[in-house]
Amino acid sequence: MSAVICTVDVVLLTLLGEELAAVLLRREHEPFQGALAIPGGYVHPQDDLCAHDAAMRVIKNKTGIVAPYLEQLATFSGATRDPRGWSLSVAHYALVPYPLLAARKDAAVHVVPVSQLGTLPFDHRAMIDTALERLRNKSQYSSLPCFLAGDTFTLPQLQRLYELLLGETLNKVSFRRKMSEMDILDPVDGQFEAAGAHRPAQLYRLKAAVRKTLTVLERGL
């Protein structure tokens, strides 16, 4: 019953261009001082009401943002994952639209495409892999990807986002049927252009009532 090192870690994911990316920070302290790692820190029993609050605090302190979506992922523990001794980390994952991150981003914050992650300290790689698996799984039957989209977006953009996450192309008609079935989008008056010589797409935003909720489909996709 000797002391256990209790920490939280956060896999902070965002959409960078056409790729999923994770937020990494350069570690200020040992172990692995100077290495890039995902945000994390000790649980502060005197400050944190629970591990979820600890994760929110870590995100806020290290990146300056309040993540629109934050969920517990899994707890990683063991004698060998941290050179300091037997440790336990409650891993979380958060989804953030990139503009939110860019607005607050200082030099210490690195946004690295998940396809280009180098070697990471601790079991951070396993945490990221688990987060990606969870995200991809939930993308099959929920509105989760919407938390990666910006404030407003078009249906073609949203479909490309789902396709990116699921790694397969989707049927346009079916995709729109499903979005309509979820009933989470409000059209925004005024159209969308930028894309050039073709019909502009309707802009949508998440309905206020579901801005903080996850909507789930009965039969997926």
Partner DNA sequence: TCAATAGTGTCTCTAAGACATTATGTT
Partner DNA sequence: AACATAATGTCTTAGAGACACTATTGA
For DNA, the binding residues (CB under 7 A) are 154-156, 170-174, 176-178, 191, 193, 195-202, 219-221
Helices (H), 64-168: 98-104, 124-139, 155-166
DSSP 197: S
- Nearest distance in Å: CB 159, a copy of itself: 20
Max CA distance (Å), the chain: 68
The single residue among 18, 28, 46, 198 that binds a copy of itself, judged by CB under 8 A, is: 46
Report the alpha-carbon distance of residue 66 to residue 55 in Å, rounded.
10
| Residue 4, token pair as written in the block | 């256990």
Binding a copy of itself (rule: CB under 8 A), the pick from 31, 34, 78, 150 is: 78
* Minimum distance, C-beta of residue 77 to a copy of itself, in the bound complex (Å): 4
143 touches 158 (CB < 8 A): no
Indicate the residue among 1 and 197 with the shorter CB distance to a copy of itself. 1
> What is residue 56's three-state secondary structure?
helix
For residue 77, state whether it binds a copy of itself (rule: CB under 8 A).
yes
- With respect to DNA, which residue has the nearer C-beta, 88 or 182? 182
Based on its alpha-carbon atoms, the radius of gyration of the chain, rounded to whole angstroms, reads 19
| Closer residue to DNA in complex, CB, 76/153 | 153
Residues, the chain: 221
Which position among 31, 61, 66, 75 is part of the footprint of a copy of itself (CB under 8 A)?
75
Residue 85 touches a copy of itself, criterion: CB under 8 A: yes
Given candidates 1, 103, 197, 208, which one binds a copy of itself under the rule CB under 8 A?
1
CA dihedral 60, 63, 68, 72 (to 10 degrees): -70
CB of 207 to DNA, least distance (A): 17
Site pattern 2..41 for a copy of itself (x: CB under 8 A) = xxx-x-----------------------------------
Verify binding: residue 201, a copy of itself, rule CB under 8 A.
no
The closest of 178, 180, 160, 175 to 218, measured between CA atoms, is 178
CB of 158 to DNA, least distance (A): 9
Torsion angle of the four alpha carbons 205, 207, 213, 216, in this order, in degrees rounded to the nearest 10: -90
Contact between 30 and 11 under an 8 Å Cβ cutoff? The reply is: no
The first and second tokens of residue 43, run together, are 């649980």
Catalog residues that contact a copy of itself under the rule CB under 8 A: 1-4, 6, 42-46, 49-51, 72, 74-75, 77-79, 85-86, 88, 90, 219-220
